[in-house]
């Protein structure tokens, strides 16, 4: 899959994009290394998805965007047995909580309805700077208070 992705990037002449393989819990990159990170169809194999999200958040630059593509909750137990899935999808609330815990601001979820599996695209942004993060916290607190 990485080879195919690299070929597609080259074909599209996207020289500023890279595809890399690494440990999702300990990325081999320094803090604030990337403008964008995509976690595509791997969290359902993860022992601790929250830690993977936190690690991606660490590697994002201020203003950077994380996109997670994975399954909505489902009951296909056969995927555990036949394909080693650890989790049977994720709820919007679950993913939003992981984003918040990682210091990221959740965006709108895009849902691609399917039968039998629905795929979701969850996005989040790292605050552009500490002032923006503080402003976002104030906004959340005001919304919670009504």
Confidence of residue 50 (pLDDT cuts 50, 70, 90): very high
pLDDT at 2: 86
pLDDT at 26: 96
0.75 exceeded by the pTM? yes
Pick the closest to residue 98 from 59, 131, 139, 49 (CA basis): 49
The predicted pLDDT at position 120 comes to 98
pLDDT (mean) for 9-37: 92
Q: Can you give the pLDDT at residue 139?
A: 56
Which pLDDT band, with edges at 50, 70 and 90, does 138 fall under? Answer: low
Listed in sequence order, the DSSP H helices in the chain are 2-11, 49-59, 78-83, 92-101, 130-145
The mean per-residue pLDDT over the stretch 49-73 comes to 97
């Amino acid at each position: 899959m990485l080879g195919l992705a690299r070929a597609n990037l080259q074909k599209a002449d996207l020289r500023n994009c890279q595809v890399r393989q690494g440990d999702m819990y300990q990325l081999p990159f320094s803090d604030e290394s990337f403008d964008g990170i995509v976690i595509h169809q791997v969290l359902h194999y993860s022992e601790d998805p929250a830690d993977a999200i936190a690690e991606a958040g660490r590697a994002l630059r201020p203003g950077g965007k994380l996109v997670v593509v994975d399954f909505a909750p489902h009951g296909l137990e056969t995927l555990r047995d036949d394909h080693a899935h650890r989790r049977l999808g994720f709820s919007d609330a679950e993913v939003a909580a992981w984003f918040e815990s990682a210091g990221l601001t959740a965006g709108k979820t895009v849902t691609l309805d399917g039968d039998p599996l629905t795929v979701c695209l969850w996005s989040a942004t790292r605050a552009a700077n500490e002032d923006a993060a503080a402003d976002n916290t104030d906004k959340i607190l005001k919304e919670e208070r009504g």
